[in-house]
């Protein structure tokens, strides 16, 4: 029995010593634009350098494939640029879908919080319960919050890590609202959550209607930009035609076409875009 007590005291002293002496694990910076985009897409564990390497690989594959088919370096370089941008486009689409999915389920999550608080649960317990009873897309993030709070017991720090996992503008508003309610007192917490749930539901409904009306503009812009390059890709199998793009005039046509497509696509997206929610205190 004495050996067990001595072992427990020794382990406790070792843990206390390590907390003050050993260096903390370095935090992964996500302050860059690419890092924030990866976090918004739910790929926060992927490093920006690794993602850039993926873009380089896609660019090389695009260049080699078109070069083998066309034997024309300028055309291969054009498709290498398209291949290098392809992972970025996929990443942005994933981030938009994830944000849209979160916006749809946040009202349900806030309703669950309000019900749990009304039933007498503390705010940390209510948040931890969302890992089991909350909407499916949010469960992993709240499971991480539950583990953080159980380990550290620090509500504010656990909320900060929850915001990092979510990387979502709506999640930032919910988390900051809960933080304020916790700091100033929870007397009006139930009313705050019910009001927030109604606001989020109305906002999601309005944005969904606007996005459905905007879809034709986005799809039209993508079709208009991709059509000329699909035609050029088909021309790669006609050696006598595609070889003309290896001349100075052909390179000029490619540059003018690429510039026109870029400007036209940017204008179409600029005209049809919706207001973008910014993350707060991220």
- CB-based burial of residue 236 (10 Å sphere; 0-12 exposed, 13-18 middle, 19+ buried)? buried
Q: What is the pTM of this model?
A: 0.77
Cβ-based neighbour number of residue 38 at 10 Å: 23
Give the pLDDT band of residue 80 (cuts 50, 70, 90): very high
pLDDT of residue 26: 37
Query: Is 99 within 8 Å of 64 (Cβ atoms)?
Result: no
Give the pLDDT band of residue 74 (cuts 50, 70, 90): very high
Task: Give the residue-averaged pLDDT of 1-11.
Answer: 51
pLDDT of residue 28: 41
Task: Give the residue-averaged pLDDT of 228-255.
Answer: 89
DSSP 224: H
Distance CA 154, CA 177 (A): 17
Q: Which residue has 């026109």 as its token pair?
A: 260
Q: Phi then psi for 13, rounded to 5 degrees?
A: -65, -40
| pLDDT per residue as tens digits for the range 9-61 | 554 565 565 555 444 433 444 458 888 889 888 888 889 999 999 999 999 99
Inter-CA distances, 11 with 4, 7, 16, Å: 11, 6, 9
Structure tokens belonging to residue 262? 């870029």
> Which of the two residues, 222 and 10, has the higher pLDDT score?
222
pLDDT of residue 4: 43
Structure tokens belonging to residue 48? 């920006």
Task: Give the residue-averaged pLDDT of 127-141.
Answer: 90
Query: Is 232 within 8 Å of 253 (Cβ atoms)?
Result: no
User: DSSP string of 194-241?
Assistant: HHHHHHHHHHHHHHHHHHHHHHHHHHHHHHHHHHHHHHHHHHTT-HHH
DSSP 45: T
Give the pLDDT band of residue 7 (cuts 50, 70, 90): very low
pLDDT of residue 144: 92
């Amino acid at each position: 029995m004495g050996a067990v007590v001595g072992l427990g005291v020794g382990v406790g002293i070792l843990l206390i010593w390590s907390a003050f002496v050993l260096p903390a694990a370095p935090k992964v910076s996500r302050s860059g634009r690419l890092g924030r985009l990866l976090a918004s897409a739910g790929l926060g564990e992927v490093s920006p350098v690794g993602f850039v390497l993926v873009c380089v690989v896609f660019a090389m594959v695009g260049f080699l494939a078109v070069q083998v088919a066309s034997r024309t370096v300028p055309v291969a370089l054009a498709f290498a640029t398209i291949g290098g941008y392809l992972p970025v486009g996929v990443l942005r689409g994933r981030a938009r879908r994830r944000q849209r999915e979160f916006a749809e389920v946040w009202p349900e999550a806030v309703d669950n919080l309000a019900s749990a608080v009304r039933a007498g649960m503390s705010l940390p317990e209510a948040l931890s319960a969302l890992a089991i009873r909350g909407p499916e897309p949010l469960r992993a993030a709240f499971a991480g919050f539950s583990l953080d709070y159980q380990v550290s017991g620090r509500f504010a720090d656990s909320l900060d890590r929850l915001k990092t996992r979510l990387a979502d503008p709506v999640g930032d508003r919910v988390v900051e609202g809960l933080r304020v309610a916790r700091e100033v007192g929870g007397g009006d917490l139930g009313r705050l959550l019910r009001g927030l749930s109604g606001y989020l539901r109305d906002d999601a409904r309005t944005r969904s209607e606007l996005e459905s009306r905007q879809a034709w503009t986005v799809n039209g812009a993508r079709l208009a930009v991709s059509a000329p390059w699909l035609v050029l890709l088909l021309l790669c199998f006609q050696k006598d035609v595609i070889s003309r793009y290896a001349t100075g005039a052909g390179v000029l046509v490619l540059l003018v076409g690429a510039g026109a497509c870029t400007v036209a696509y940017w204008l179409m997206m600029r005209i049809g875009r919706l207001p973008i929610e910014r993350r707060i205190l991220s």
